[in-house]
Amino acid sequence: MIIKATFTGTNSLGYENGKEYELVVSKDTLISIKRVVSCDLYGYAICHYTSLTAFLKNWNNIQTIG
């Protein structure tokens, strides 16, 4: 699934608070996100979350786009 969301957490892995990103979301045992478009320093910046609740603590304005 591809989403667009605004990062509300602490700046990390090249994600900056208040900025919007297009993300690929996948779920195995963890919820994983990665950027749709790579950035220079952090590549696709893959981030793992232990639960949907943990993900929602760091992201808002979530829209499904694909």
What pLDDT was estimated at residue 45? 86
Boundaries of domain holding 41: 2-64
**In this predicted structure, what is the pLDDT of residue 40?**
75
pTM for the model stands at 0.86
Q: Which long-range contacts (CB under 8 A, 24 or more apart) does 59-63 make?
A: 59/5, 59/6, 59/7, 59/8, 59/9, 60/5, 60/6, 60/8, 61/4, 61/5, 61/6, 61/20, 62/3, 62/4, 62/5, 63/3, 63/4, 63/5
Q: Domain total for the chain?
A: 1
Residue 11 is predicted with a pLDDT of 94
**Confidence tier at 18 by pLDDT (50, 70, 90):** very high
Among 6-10, 15-19, 38-42, 48-52, name the one with the lowest average pLDDT: 38-42
pLDDT of 41 over the 80 cut: no
